[in-house]
Amino acid sequence: MNSFLYGVERLEIGKVLQIASQKVSGQLGAEARQKVENCFQQVQQIVANNQTVYGINTGFGILANTKISEEDTRLLQHKILQSHSVGVGEAIPVEIARLMLITKVHSLAQGYSGVQVATLERIIWHIENNIIPVVPDKGSVGASGDLAPLAHLFLPLIGLGEVWVDGKRQKTGEVLSRYGLAPIPLGPKEGLALINGTQFILAYAINGIQRLHNCLEAADIIGAMSLEALTGTKAPFDERLHALRPFGGVQLVAQRLRMLLQRSEIMQSHIDCGRVQDPYSLRCMPQVHGASRNAWLHLKELTEIELNSVTDNPIVFAHDDTISGGNFHGQPLALPLDYACFAAAEVGNISDRRCYLLLEGKWGLPMLLMRNVGLNSGFMIPQYTTAALVTENKTLCFPASADSIPTSLGQEDHVSMGSISGRKLNTILNNLEYILSIELLTACQAIEFRRPFKSSEILEFAHGLVREYVSFAEEDRVFADDINQIKNIIADLSFVERVNGFADSKGWYLNKAWEGFRI
């Protein structure tokens, strides 16, 4: 298995996802160990010299001016994990908690946080053995670090809290006993270093980047299938047109649509139909999907900066040099996460419009995509679901980062609320996966009314993938079953991976020359 060195190598989103899926092993190498140990010793010296440094021998937040005795500095770090474990709500997905662990190790391993090597080794043990802490989803305001979720994440280090083992919640103490492990006695500053940071926001950003990228890839494929079913034209995707307004995401989508539609019999069958222009939801796919691609790229670039940053407080540089700053403030990710919410919602918005077009009974398609409507409602009602989900997504687009409520008796008087931005994005993406699933089902139904003409090889392959799970609908049935089947193959990435893989096998690289837009 390939390995990655925490705190030394640059961590990119693709790599962190590989570590999370255990395709790559994250390790603490000799260089990182030395940096971490040196910094830990500097903290020990601060305590021994009775220097006053925030969070090492003072209280926290509004209690920053309360001095803590040398003998209580370790107890202080234990208590901060307990006192800050105030999260509520449902447990976050295991994959999010795992990403939090990975990103926290990488930040601490850079050697500016004053933690012990043993503490990092224990966190890595949790990652490698897939024993993942249970973390509630609500309680962070996204500044002073993601305090509540990070406190819950690291309760297992001191033998408290719960962990996921083989899909079941278990008491940490019982699990540690089975493995012959004892709780970690935290050193000065360690508790604060563990809960200061943006890893809750960051983990949701990473997960959202992967999911939004998958949805954007799927939306191009599905949109092209809808265009084929509606006998639309590919002229608006001409390379010359988009060179005149060269937004990267827009040009990428136009290129993908050109390749997805190449050598289509359906396209050739209506080349002289006389229709002047298609509706915007077909004609403007490059501009709408492409704008969302640009938003995705912005989030990806900023997330990778955060991935390789030190975000706790205070920062320990060397000897007596410590700085209390605000690297824990989540605003740098809160804003692009809210932007990504808009981007994801708009992909669903335009997808719903294409669903509606497919049902109107225009351009040779039967109304509601069934021959015998009246007795049958056809595909009328699945579009009700897309309409409901699109509206729900719109209500989720209020930017959490536009709000701030003071905490810690005014000491922490501006906070980012980025944790809410991250959770909202992933809720919107869940809805978007359903919307795209319904468009895909609808487009596949419609394309069969264009027979004997066939679409391009790529789109026929995509159509065949759907038919592995869902058959053509001659009459009404429980369409929720079909929707869930197709949602699963979109959400688990397999639809996009198989279509892209087929295209690559034919030498048609759908993302060729667009390195920045890949994970």
Whole-angstrom CA distances from 187 to 110, 211, 492, 494 are: 18, 38, 42, 45
What 3 state SS string does 179-223 have?
CCCCCCCCCCCHHHHHHCCCHHHHHHHHHHHHHHHHHHHHHHHHH
Q: Could you count the other beta carbons within 10 Å of the beta carbon of residue 180?
A: 6
The tokens 């790229």 sit on which residue?
297
Question: What length is written for the chain?
Answer: 519
How far apart (Å, rounded) are the C-alpha atoms in residues 227 and 358?
Answer: 9
Q: Which of 415, 409, 356 is nearest to 385 (CA)?
A: 356
Set 6, 54, 112, 434: catalytic member? 54
Nearest-10 crossing angle of helices 457-467, 494-505? 140
Assigned token pair, 147: 């305090």
- Tokens (6 digits) for 251: 């040009």
Residue 244: which residues within 8 A CB-CB, separation 6 or more? none
Q: Establish whether 54 is a catalytic residue.
A: yes
Q: Which residues of 274-318 form beta strands (DSSP E)?
A: 315-318
Strand 88-91 and strand 136-138: the pairing is antiparallel
Pairwise CA distance, residues 123 & 132, whole Å: 10
Q: How far is CA 268 from the centre of its chain?
A: 39
Element (H or E) spanning 282, and its range? helix 280-283
Is the Cα dihedral 206, 207, 213, 216 positive or negative?
Answer: negative
Distances (CA, A) of 305 to 16, 251, 309, 315: 13, 25, 6, 18
Rounded to whole angstroms, the Cα distance separating 464 from 14 reads 29
| Residues carrying an active site annotation | 54
